[in-house]
A and B are shown apart, each in its own frame.
Chain A
Amino acid sequence: MRKSFDEINEKIRAKRAVVVTAEEMIDIVRDQGPKAAARKVDVVTTGTFGPMCSSGAVLNVGHATPRMKIHRAWLNGVAAYGGLAAADVMIGATALPDDDPGNARHPGAFPYGGGHVIEDLVQGRTVKLEAESYGTDCYPRRKLEAGIRLRDLNDAQLSNPRNAYQNYNVAVNAKGDRTIYTYLGVLRPKMANATYCSAGQLSPLVNDPGFRTIGVGTRIFLGGGVGFVTGHGTQHAPNVARNERGVPTGGAGTLAVCGDLKQMHADFLRGVSVTGYGVSLAVGIGVPIPVLDEDLAWSTAVTDRDVVAPVVDYANDYPNNEGEPLAFVSYAELKSGTIEVRGKRVRCASMSSYAKARVIASELKRWIEAGAFSLGRPVETLPGPGSDLHPHLLVNHPTTEVER
């Protein structure tokens, strides 16, 4: 039996669609089989919440009087990008204030940055905008200081060139002799601990591993509002080795997404300070997966036992692009709190909130059941396994001076 997007959307409009979370789908497929599950269930909702550094917001702050072509800008002292149109400013999640000492006194605390600016805007707080320019005939103003609030901006778009990673590394410090501070958290030497960052069985791209239903135009839950998939994310790596379920055994697919920041909520968009590393933005994303057929019923019943991740040394191997994974462990093992790596029991913890991922999947389910959220049929699917996308290391070419 096959269903179409249109048929499912018709059911959603009539509030007759059967919607379950990816967790609930596991039991349904186990008890009734994928064929019956495909007949019964129309949509499976997924969710994930964790730091996603490749995030930012494009703000149109409105023209000042006299007008100004913003050239350089700061938001609450955090450097923003002014290389867009006159009144557009972009703030990146990992941007820091000019006076942040970084890791000069290691490990740096990184108390405030771009991710926090975005959270402050979403919280409704007033953010200080400082801008400079060189002045033109049409935009004569050279300096600007103003307090801005999200509600008064003409436009505020959350833009994430890469997130919702389809699986990811488990980090350990196996080869170092001191505590290290990474984007995956604090790692003590001799593999005293391990960290990971994925919702596993609830993660969007794990539930549609071949990208059959997710593509450009897919409507999603983004930061508490409605967003869209705009394409495959940067570093999208669909050709990573996969297990018998088609789930990659390492970081693979990614999504590029965007959405209206004004719809979003700080419960699902939070600034993050990663000790010794920097700042980031934790983003909540939920993707609905239409159960078009039996195969999709089966793939959305993926469990934490079915998803394995590579354990990677972050003291030497990761920073130097060397070595092989030390082991592969399942998310069921990771969520037990202890994994075994080369004969050693290692305590592990998550950087991603499974509790929040559950809230997101449930919230998205509620929206769809209420008929308030229909499925976006992709106008183009993402490059899948077998495509010619192969992310690689930096290619360094000889450069020549550009004549100015």
Chain B
Amino acid sequence: MTQRIVLYVPSGSVNPRTLEPDARERRVPASRVVRDRKRCVDCGACVGACLSGALVADPATRETLVRPHACVGCGLCVPTCGYGALLTVVTGPRAEGVS
């Protein structure tokens, strides 16, 4: 069965073409947060909200690094992003469209 992806967009206009590659994979966990690299400004506000180590600040460059496989999809980081760069991706039977 083909899985469909639902994008819950918190704010701003997210361009699916600039989502990081992992977001476009066909097989993704039940729920995961992905980043629109073009909208991200690397402030790191999300890093403080991430409890699973999926979002970390590079100590050298101070850029925000995303470790997709560490994400548990809790979504705590999403409201901390003021730039609409983070969104929750949900897959599976309840996924029916884009909101």
State the A residues within 8 Å of B (CB).
49-51, 107, 109-112, 116, 181, 185-186, 193-195, 270-276, 280, 282, 335, 337, 347-356, 358
Q: Is B12 engaged at the interface, CB distance under 8 Å to the other chain?
A: yes
In the bound complex, do residue B43 and residue A50 qualify as a contact, i.e. CB atoms below 8 Å apart?
yes
Taking residues whose C-beta sits less than 8 angstroms from the other chain, chain B's interface range is 20 to 34
Given A350-B43, A358-B62, A275:B79 Cβ within 8 A: yes
Main secondary structure of the interface of A (DSSP, over half): strand
State the B residues within 8 Å of A (CB).
10-12, 41-49, 57, 61-64, 79-80, 82-84
Of A109, A185, A270, the contact of B83 (CB 8 Å cutoff): A270
Of A194, A350, A355, the contact of B63 (CB 8 Å cutoff): A355
A111 CA / B14 CA spacing, docked (Å)? 12
Set of chain B residues within 8 Å of A358, measured between Cβ atoms: 62
In the bound complex, do residue B80 and residue A186 qualify as a contact, i.e. CB atoms below 8 Å apart?
yes
Count chain A CB atoms within 10 A of each CB in B42, B61, B82 and give the residue with the most: B82
Set of chain A residues within 8 Å of B45, measured between Cβ atoms: 185, 195, 349-351
Set of chain A residues within 8 Å of B11, measured between Cβ atoms: 109-112, 273
- 7 closest residue pairs by CB, A with B: A349-B48, A355-B42, A272-B82, A273-B11, A275-B79, A354-B62, A353-B43
Set of chain A residues within 8 Å of B64, measured between Cβ atoms: 355
Given A193-B49, A348-B48, A349-B45, A355:B61 Cβ within 8 A: yes
Of B10, B48, B62, B82, the contact of A355 (CB 8 Å cutoff): B62
Set of chain B residues within 8 Å of A194, measured between Cβ atoms: 48
In the bound complex, do residue A193 and residue B83 qualify as a contact, i.e. CB atoms below 8 Å apart?
no
A349 CA / B49 CA spacing, docked (Å)? 8
Give the shortest distance, in Å, between A363 (CB) and chain B (any CB): 15
A107 CA / B69 CA spacing, docked (Å)? 29
Set of chain A residues within 8 Å of B79, measured between Cβ atoms: 107, 181, 186, 275-276
Give the shortest distance, in Å, between A46 (CB) and chain B (any CB): 15
Set of chain A residues within 8 Å of B10, measured between Cβ atoms: 109, 111, 273, 275
